[in-house]
């Protein structure tokens, strides 16, 4: 169950799924930058076209992309509301101390569109890339930081272990919670202090278990000759293929178009 | 030549009490002599706390002896420089399947060992394919370990060890957390590796049913080896086993009861088939 | 009737790709003082079933009655239900959290709102019942051995003084000594205190010894609900469900097939031994009789 909520990878075989994660990661970054570059309707249309074609290429059902918007609906609503009420300009409607301006409406609409595009665009990346591939991509992309003694390999290893254990610990939390409820624990009622105290019977066992697992895992890794990143090879090293080069070209073209649109303000 | 040999092996650890009392030295295992032949299937039995897991960890140099010596394929495990060689030669599978799988995809987990050994990518692929097919998990290579059953997870863990081409595999209570089907799967894989690949298997367990196929059984109690022999020899000593908080399989107990009542059947019956044959042979 | 399950269905992950029907129209009645064994392979729905009994899972459809009252009715106090129906989860030692054993066991009664003295009294009684000696009361639960931890966790549920005690594979991971000790203590509770026990286990051998009613769950349905003796006569069907009967059952069936007149319904080693001895002496006397006839 944990895996559905986490990373939300949607297993299928599409062009996007097969693409090198580095392309997807940087491509998504470019797309996000572009969203904030463009100003006019043509710009938004180009971004929308990019988003829609990515969704189609990914073969991920549309409702999964929509689902990813759910957790950010509140943030979106608040942002839009602030923009709506607090943008100065030509007043259209007044209510108590608030006033709605034409600029406000435009601003709110823009913010809304941007956020929807941003979240669904990045969820396309997480829907088509396994968390592991993403970690790999980051290890490679940030590899240059090794020069200034950033332990890039170790950080990546930690991330991928975390990814493996988050679903396990989520399940475990659920189990311990149920076990304590069966002993009459109450997690739902009472004020802040009572609720915090009620968490102790959940958190202590969870930490104990997490430490035991960490200990076991460290031993298992040692038993399998793990001794850090030095001298380690990879089963699935990232290699660019033809499709990846084409994707780079598409991303570059997209960026160029968006910069032009940004300059002209279309 | 024995693949694993221990001489007067002992391991102590120090336990500190809350009340600042003098630290207590606990002898987890003491004076263990053992010699395990290449290609054999050996079981180590004992109740929880008998020292059997401590002994297992000595075979992989996860723990070093505090007295005596342990050799793995002729290498003294106390020698720091050959630590990785020892661990590659004696692979280890642990009890909790969740806590020993590192990869988020099955085949990537199996590759973990060979990657640590610095194998070239192409070799890793051959080894992973080979290891997964030996444990019958090739069809699951792209799955997430979280979606597998306990038995399947343990088979992946075994594949992870097999991919390192070890001389012997130490399984430390690999079935304790599994259901009967999972237990069967894991044992079958272990037996298969032993028979077909000639890998030495050392199975640590407290399930008596699991040791009937072993070539040799050691029984541990209070950190010492208290009994050893073939399963048949060991299982014929039902009362002694019971005193060690171990039970024998139901058939063995039944045969033992019948024998006590004067029925003429052989000692140490370990499978239902044997018992049926023995009883039908009585004229 | 103590607990009654009517037409219970439960679907996991409704509306997702992972939708699974875990329980499929289950009907069950549980009476006072029964020792019920629940068996089924992993994923059969047995864990889901028992979590319905104390209201931890809400049924997708169907009703659960405790002492005649629907536990999902508006205003039903499910928190107090949980003091009547105690549930010990798998690896219950994972829920220990207090600084010492006694305080941990007091957690349940404390949640019921009892006074400190009452809580302590209940906790001490529960600890006695699982055989934890007094010198361990002030020890941290994390310093105990595996078997002791397990028993303290069981005491944590017993301290709520439940009428029904449900245990989900309470012996998993214990060695034979610890396993027999714990099961005997549970049996004692049922015999002496009249607690209704529902025991989920993978061990048919244990079921044969302890349970007086055996429920086999398969693919979300109840496949058998009968005495262990009667259920084991279906050993071939059990195998098709990925289960098996005790070793004894197989031995007895094979012997019978080979012409030895033994009782195939023997449950325990002692019963089997007696039956085999009888069959052997019967065969011997028949043979002597035959031999005599020939002589005559």
Structural domains for chain B: 2-230 (3.40.50.300)
- Asked if the model's pLDDT at residue A5 lies above 60, the reply is no
Residue C8, pLDDT score: 94
Task: For chain A, give the mean pLDDT.
Answer: 85
In a domain, A101, yes or no: yes
Collapsed DSSP state (helix, strand, coil) of residue B95: coil
Tokens 């864990």 map to which residue?
A: C47
Question: What's phi and psi for C182, nearest 5 deg?
Answer: -65, -45
Query: Backbone phi, then psi, for A201, in 5-degree steps?
Result: -60, -15
From chain B residues 211-250, the ones with a CB under 8 A of any chain C CB are 245-247, 249-250
Q: What is the pLDDT of residues A45-63, one digit of tens each?
A: 888 999 999 999 888 888 8
Cα(A111)–Cα(A257) distance, rounded to whole angstroms? 21
Kindly tell me if the per-residue pLDDT of C114 is higher than 80: yes
Distance CA B230, CA B232 (A): 5
Structure token digits, residue C6: 């009517």
Tell me whether residues B87 and A224 touch, CB distance under 8 A.
yes
- ipTM for this model: 0.90
Q: Is A2 on the interface with B (CB under 8 A)?
A: yes
Considering the domain architecture, whether residues A21 and A134 belong to the same structural domain is answered as: yes
Shared domain for A192 and A258, answered yes or no, is no
Question: Residue C2 phi/psi, 5° resolution?
Answer: -75, -55
B260 CB neighbour count, 10 Å cutoff: 10
The model's pLDDT over C242-273, given as tens digits with 9 standing for 90+, comes to 898 999 999 999 999 998 899 999 999 999 99
Cβ–Cβ below 8 Å for A178 and C54: no
Same domain as A12, residue A137:
yes
Those residues with Cβ within 8 angstroms of residue B122's Cβ, 6 or more apart along the chain or in another chain: none
Shortest distance between the Cα of A177 and any Cα of chain C, in A, equals: 9
Q: Is A70 on the interface with B (CB under 8 A)?
A: no
Residuewise pLDDT in 10s, chain B (283 residues): 799 999 999 999 887 765 666 677 888 999 999 999 999 999 999 988 899 999 999 999 999 999 999 999 999 998 888 889 999 999 999 999 999 999 888 999 999 999 999 999 999 999 999 999 999 999 999 888 888 999 999 999 999 999 999 999 999 999 999 988 999 999 999 999 999 999 999 999 988 889 988 999 999 999 999 999 999 999 989 899 988 888 888 899 999 999 999 999 988 888 999 999 999 888 6
Contact C94 A184 (CB under 8 A): no
pLDDT of residue B184: 92
Does any domain span residue A11?
yes
Distance CA B283, CA C189 (A): 47
Domains of chain C: 1-76+195-242 (3.40.50.300), 246-296 (no CATH)
| A115 CB-near residues (< 8 Å, 6+ apart) | A72, A75, A76, A79
| Nearest-by-Cβ selection for A179 from C18, C92, C160 | C92
Chain A touched by C157 (CB under 8 Å): yes
Are A189 and A111 in a shared domain? no
> Comparing C-alpha atoms, which of B9, A184, B68 is closest to residue C81?
A184
Contacts of B216 (CB under 8 A, 6+ apart): B36, B40, B41, B42, B43, B228, B229, B230
CB contacts of A180 in chain C (<8 Å) are 95, 107
Residue with tokens 């391991």: B11
Task: Report the distance separating Cα B200 and Cα B38, nearest Å.
Answer: 6
Do A213 and B104 count as a contact with CB atoms less than 8 A apart? no
Exposed/middle/buried for residue A82 (C-beta within 10 Å: 0-12, 13-18, 19+)? middle
Q: Is residue A230, in this structure, part of any structural domain at all? A: no
Domain-embedded: residue A232: no
pLDDT tens profile A150-181: 888 888 888 888 888 888 999 999 999 999 99
Task: Judge whether C118 is closer than 8 Å to chain A, CB to CB.
Answer: no
Segments of chain C assigned E as strands: 3-12, 20-30, 35-39, 61-66, 69-70, 85-88, 164-168, 196-200, 213-218, 221-226
- A178 within some domain: yes
Looking up tokens 């549920």 gives C157
Could A201 and C97 be called an inter-chain contact, meaning their C-beta atoms sit closer than 8 Å?
yes
- Say if residues B13 and B210 touch (Cβ distance below 8 Å): no
Residues A155 and A55 grouped into a single domain: no
Q: Do C255 and B254 touch (CB under 8 A)?
A: no
pLDDT at A3 over 50: no
Chains that touch C (3 or more CB pairs under 8 A): A, B
Q: How many CB atoms lie within 10 A of CB B91?
A: 27
Q: Would you call B88 an interface residue with chain A, using a CB distance cutoff of 8 Å?
A: yes
- Residues from chain B that touch C145, judged by Cβ atoms under 8 A, are 48-49
Spell out which residues of chain B touch residue C280, defining contact as CB-CB under 8 Å: 263, 279, 282
CB pairs under 8 A between A and B: 101
Q: Which residue is associated with the tokens 């992973």? A: B128
Q: Is B279 on the interface with C (CB under 8 A)?
A: yes
Closest C-alpha among B122, B203, B117 to residue B165: B117
Measured between its terminal Cα atoms, the distance across chain A in Å is 45
Could you tell me which residues are beta bridge partners of residue B92? B170
CA distance, residue A207 to nearest chain C CA (Å): 10
- Give the best residue of B46, B154, B180 to mutate against chain C (max C CB count within 10 A): B180
Stretch 132-161 of chain B: residues touching chain A, C-beta under 8 Å: 144-147, 160-161
Please report all neighbours of B, defined by 3+ CB atom pairs within 8 A.
Answer: A, C
pLDDT in tens, A122-159: 888 888 888 778 888 888 888 888 888 888 888 888 88
Based on the domain organization, do A247 and A123 belong to the same domain?
yes
Q: How far apart are CA C161 and CA C175, in angstroms?
A: 28
Q: Which residues of C touch A1 (CB under 8 A)?
A: 13, 18
Residue C176 φ/ψ, nearest 5 degrees? -50, -40
Q: Check CB contact under 8 Å for A186 and C112.
A: no
Nearest 10 degrees: Cα torsion C127, C129, C133, C139: -20
A23 and A51 fall within a common domain: yes
Q: Is the CB of residue B8 less than 8 Å from the CB of residue B67?
A: yes
Any domain includes A207: yes
Name which residue leads in pLDDT, A119 or B80: A119
CA distance linking residue A198 with residue A215, whole number of Å: 27
Which has the higher per-residue pLDDT, A139 or C151? C151
pLDDT band at C161 (very low <50, low <70, confident <90, very high): very high
Do A177 and A134 reside in the same domain of the chain? no
Q: Which of B192, B58, B214 is nearest to B133 (CA)?
A: B192
pLDDT band (50, 70, 90) for residue A4 = very low
In a shared domain, residues A103 and A209: no
For residue A100, the cross-strand partners are A93
CA angle B93, C93, A182 (to 5 degrees): 130
Do A180 and A61 sit in the same domain of this protein?
Answer: no
Q: Which of residues 236-275 of C touch B (CB under 8 A)?
A: 242-244, 246-248, 250-251, 254-255, 258-260, 269-270, 272-273
The total of structural domains in chain A comes to 2
With an 8 Å Cβ cutoff, are B105 and A132 in contact? yes
**Distance (Å) from the alpha carbon of A31 to chain B's nearest alpha carbon:** 28
Sign of CA dihedral A226, A230, A231, A237: positive
Contact check, Cβ <8 Å, C94/A204: no
Of A19-33, A187-201, B29-43, B219-233, minimum mean pLDDT range: A187-201
Q: How far is A180 from chain C (nearest CA, A)?
A: 7
Q: How far is CA C107 from the centre of its chain?
A: 24
Contacts of B174 in chain C (CB under 8 A): none
- Looking at the structure, tell me whether residues A30 and A95 fall in a common domain: yes
- Report the 10 Å Cβ neighbour count for C117: 8
Choose the weakest-confidence range: A201-205, B209-213, C81-85, C123-127.
B209-213
Is there a contact between B272 and C247 if contact means CB atoms under 8 Å apart?
yes
Q: Which helix (H) or strand (E) holds A79?
A: helix A73-86
* Closest in B105, B116, B125 to A232, CB measured: B116
Q: Which residues of C touch A175 (CB under 8 A)?
A: 89, 94
Whole-number Å distance between alpha carbons of B171 and B94: 6
Indicate the average pLDDT of chain C. Answer: 91
Q: Are A51 and A127 in a shared domain?
A: yes
Residue A6, pLDDT score: 43
User: Distance of CA C86 to CAs A187, C9, C149, C164, Å?
Assistant: 18, 22, 18, 6
Residues of C (118-157) whose Cβ lies below 8 Å from B? 140, 145-147
CB–CB of A181/C82 below 8 Å?
yes
B193 min Cα distance to partner chain C (Å) = 24
Q: How many angstroms separate the CA of residue A80 from the nearest CA in chain C? A: 31
Please report whether residue A236 resides in a domain. no
Domain-embedded: residue A233? no
Which residues in chain C are contacts of A186 at CB distance < 8 A? 79, 111
Write the CA distances from C139 to B227, C136, C152, integer angstroms. Answer: 34, 5, 11
Residues 165-204 on C with a CB inside 8 Å of B are: 172-178, 180, 202
Domain of residue A174, residue span: 149-223
User: Does the pLDDT at position A12 exceed 90?
Assistant: no
């Amino acid at each position: 169950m944990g895996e559905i909520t986490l990373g939300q990878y949607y297993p299928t075989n599409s062009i996007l799924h097969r693409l090198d994660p580095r392309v997807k990661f940087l491509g998504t970054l470019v797309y996000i930058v572009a969203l904030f570059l463009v100003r006019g309707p043509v710009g938004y249309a180009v971004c929308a076209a990019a988003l829609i074609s990515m969704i189609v290429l990914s073969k991920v059902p549309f409702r999964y992309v929509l689902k990813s918007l759910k957790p950010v609906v509140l943030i979106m609503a608040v942002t839009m509301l602030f923009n709506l009420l607090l943008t100065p300009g030509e007043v259209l409607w007044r209510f108590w101390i608030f006033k709605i301006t034409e600029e406000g409406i435009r601003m709110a609409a823009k913010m809304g569109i941007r956020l929807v595009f941003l979240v669904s665009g990045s969820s396309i990346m997480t829907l088509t890339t396994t968390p592991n591939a993403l970690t790999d991509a980051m290890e490679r992309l940030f590899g240059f930081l090794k020069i200034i003694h950033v332990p890039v390999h170790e950080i990546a290893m930690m991330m991928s272990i975390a990814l493996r254990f988050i679903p396990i610990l989520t399940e475990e939390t659920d189990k311990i919670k149920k076990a304590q409820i069966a002993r009459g624990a109450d997690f739902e009622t009472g004020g802040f202090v009572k609720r915090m105290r009620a968490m102790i019977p959940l958190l202590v066992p969870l930490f104990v278990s997490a430490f035991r697992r960490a200990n076991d895992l460290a031993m298992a890794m040692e038993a399998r000759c793990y001794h850090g990143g030095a001298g380690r090879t990879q089963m699935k090293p990232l290699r660019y293929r033809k499709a990846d080069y084409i994707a780079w070209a598409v991303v570059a073209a997209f960026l160029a178009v968006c910069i032009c649109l940004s300059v002209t303000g279309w | 030549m024995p693949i694993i040999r221990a001489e007067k092996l002992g391991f102590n650890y120090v336990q500190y009490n809350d009340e600042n009392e003098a630290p207590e030295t606990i002898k987890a295992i003491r004076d263990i002599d053992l010699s395990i032949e290449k290609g054999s299937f050996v079981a180590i039995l004992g109740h929880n706390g008998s020292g059997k897991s401590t002994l297992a960890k000595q075979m992989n140099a996860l723990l070093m002896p505090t007295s005596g010596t342990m050799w793995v394929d002729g290498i003294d495990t106390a020698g720091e420089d050959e630590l990785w060689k020892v661990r590659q030669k004696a692979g280890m599978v642990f009890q909790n399947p969740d806590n020993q799988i590192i990869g988020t995809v099955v085949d990537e987990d199996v590759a973990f060992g060979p990657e640590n050994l610095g194998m070239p990518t192409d070799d890793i692929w051959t080894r992973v394919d080979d290891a997964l097919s030996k444990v019958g998990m090739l069809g699951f290579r792209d799955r997430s370990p979280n979606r597998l059953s306990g038995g399947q997870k343990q088979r992946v863990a075994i594949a992870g060890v097999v991919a390192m081409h070890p001389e012997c595999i130490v399984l430390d209570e690999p079935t304790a957390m599994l259901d009967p089907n999972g237990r069967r799967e894991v044992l079958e894989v272990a037996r298969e590796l032993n028979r077909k690949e000639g890998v030495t298997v050392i199975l640590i367990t407290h399930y008596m049913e699991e040791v009937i196929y072993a070539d040799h059984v050691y029984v541990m109690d209070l950190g010492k080896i208290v009994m050893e022999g073939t399963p048949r020899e060991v299982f014929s000593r039902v009362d002694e086993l019971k005193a060690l908080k171990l039970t024998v399989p139901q058939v063995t107990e039944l045969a033992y009861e019948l024998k006590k009542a004067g029925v003429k059947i052989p000692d140490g019956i370990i499978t239902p088939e044997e018992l049926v044959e023995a009883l039908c042979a009585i004229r | 009737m103590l607990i009654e399950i009517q037409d219970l269905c439960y679907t996991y992950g409704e509306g997702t790709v992972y939708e699974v029907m875990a329980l499929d129209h289950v009907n069950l009645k549980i009476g006072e003082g029964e020792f019920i064994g629940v068996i089924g392979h992993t994923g059969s729905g047995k864990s889901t079933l028992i979590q319905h009994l104390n209201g931890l899972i809400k049924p997708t459809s169907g009703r659960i009655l405790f002492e005649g009252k629907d536990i999902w009715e508006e205003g039903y106090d499910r928190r107090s239900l949980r003091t009547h129906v105690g549930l010990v989860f798998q690896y219950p030692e994972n829920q220990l959290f207090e600084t010492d054993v006694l305080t941990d066991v007091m957690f349940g009664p404390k949640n019921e709102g009892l006074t400190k003295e009452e809580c302590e009294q209940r906790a001490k009684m529960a600890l006695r019942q699982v055989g934890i000696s007094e010198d361990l009361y002030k020890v941290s639960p994390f310093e105990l051995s595996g078997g002791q931890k397990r028993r303290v966790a069981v005491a944590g549920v017993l301290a709520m003084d439940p009428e029904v005690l449900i245990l989900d594979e309470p012996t998993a991971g214990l060695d034979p000594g610890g396993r027999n000790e714990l099961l005997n203590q549970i049996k004692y509770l049922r015999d002496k205190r009249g607690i209704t026990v529902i025991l989920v286990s993978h061990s048919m051998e244990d079921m044969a010894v302890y349970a007086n009613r055996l429920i086999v769950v398969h693919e979300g349905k109840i496949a058998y609900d009968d005495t262990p003796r009667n259920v084991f006569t279906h050993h071939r069907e059990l195998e098709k469900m990925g289960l098996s009967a005790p070793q004894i059952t197989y031995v007895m069936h094979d012997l019978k097939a080979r012409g030895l007149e033994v009782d195939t319904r023997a449950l325990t080693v002692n019963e089997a031994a007696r039956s085999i001895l009888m069959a052997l002496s019967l065969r011997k006397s028949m043979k002597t009789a035959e031999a005599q006839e020939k002589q005559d």
